Amino acid sequence: MADDNKLQVPTVELGSQGLKVSKLGFGCMGLTGVYNAPVSDEDGISVIKYAFSKGITFFDTADVYGPHSNEILVGKALKQLPREKIQLATKFGIAGVDLSSRMIVRGTPEYVRSCCEASLKRLDVDYIDLYYQHRVDTSVPIEDTIGELKKLVEEGKIKYIGLSEASPDTIRRAHAVHPITALQMEWSLWTREIEEEIIPLCRELGIGIVPYSPLGRGFFGGKAVVESVPANSFLASHPRFRGENLNKNKHLYDRLESLAKKHQCYPAQLALAWVLRQGDDVVPIPGTTKIKNLDDNIGSVGVKLTEEDVKEISDAVPIEEVAGDRTYESLISSSWKFANTPQKDSEAST
């Protein structure tokens, strides 16, 4: 089962606005270096093309990856694939980092439009299927940001609107301006804080959920446990991969590994199958630079879990036992818990 090369990824509807995507997406970020060294354009394109041959049609990038080089690479790959069968997602909003390594986030209408135009050029496409606000600009009313995105939809430059790391209030207010198709959030066995309020809200509003880092930034694939994290990797300084925290977290991987043997699959497949089993409206976007890992990820679609299995897997990774924050200290202020925006002045909106 784990090596079933005939497995094809099925198609589902993401959100309630008509966007159909593969049930498993592909996060392209790592192809241009973050967790490892960048791969060559030739290798990156071959990974994307291989994913497509296995039924993955939903590809995720962003202007900040590289920066810019990831969109350029994805654009080159798209030239070798049927564009009408691809669902291309990219993002805007992260304008860099300041001297204290905190994100600079922008969401003014002018910035939205300039980013979209630049991404269209780098990707060399006529339209973007799903355009996300990557992080929320807490100095700009969300109505202003979404208002400009709505215009881009009307102009045919983007088809659907998404949000990432948005607070419940921001999601509601954005959705009132124009339907939000998808919300991209970190969600994995060891990062489950969105389950209490965010997930029910998305289901209430008909918004699809796109989990990023569904393998815990590679942790449940064995990175840093059975492999070693390169010193130049983004992960080397991640709170959950550092020193004593990593030592404490290793037993979580060991438990998952034991369960994976029971299910006759790899730990990464079981962790990904757990995310996939959260609902038909859940489309994770794991990334990799290796065909073997890609095959393993695709194999997770074939891992069938009962409700009892899901509970057993959840119980094997108790959230209270996870050591370290889910993200870097400098990035916490840009996360969804702090992503409310100023109220829109009622007179200005009439």
DSSP letters spanning 308-350: HHHHHHHHHS-GGG--S-SS-GGGGGGSGGG---PPPPTTTT-
Considering the domain boundaries, does residue 260 fall inside one? no
Which 8-state DSSP code applies to residue 228? Answer: -
User: Looking at the 3D structure of the chain, how many domains does it have?
Assistant: 1
Amino acid at 60: D
Considering the domain boundaries, does residue 249 fall inside one? no
Residue 132 known to be catalytic = no
Helix (H/G/I), strand (E/B), else coil: 328: coil
Residue (of 212, 189, 202) closest to 273 by Cα position: 189
Alpha carbon 107 to chain centroid, angstroms: 20
The CA distance from 100 to 200, in Å, is 35
The CA distance from 142 to 165, in Å, is 13
Considering the domain boundaries, does residue 70 fall inside one? yes
Contacts of residue 40, Cβ cutoff 8 Å, sequence gap at least 6: none
Which residues are bridge partners to 186 per DSSP? Answer: 212
Considering the domain boundaries, does residue 152 fall inside one? yes
- In which domain, by residue range, is 113 found? 11-218+280-299
Considering the domain boundaries, does residue 306 fall inside one? no
Helix (H/G/I), strand (E/B), else coil: 164: strand
Which 8-state DSSP code applies to residue 193? Answer: G
Of the candidates 65, 131, 160, 266, the residue annotated as catalytic is 65
The CA distance from 14 to 21, in Å, is 6
Phi/psi for 283 (5° steps) reads -125, 95
Considering the domain boundaries, does residue 67 fall inside one? yes
Considering the domain boundaries, does residue 160 fall inside one? yes
> Per-residue confidence of the chain (350 residues) as pLDDT tens digits?
445 567 999 999 999 999 999 999 999 999 998 888 899 999 999 999 999 999 999 999 999 999 999 999 999 999 999 999 999 999 999 999 998 889 999 999 999 999 999 999 999 999 999 999 999 999 999 999 999 999 999 999 999 999 999 999 999 999 999 999 999 999 999 999 999 999 999 999 999 999 999 999 999 998 777 677 877 788 889 999 998 999 999 999 999 999 999 999 999 999 999 999 999 999 999 999 999 999 999 999 999 999 999 999 999 999 999 999 999 999 999 999 999 999 998 644 44
Sort 193 into a burial class: Cβ within 10 Å, 0-12 / 13-18 / 19+.
middle
Considering the domain boundaries, does residue 274 fall inside one? no
Q: In CATH, what number is assigned to the domain containing residue 34? A: 3.20.20.100
Q: pTM for the whole thing?
A: 0.96
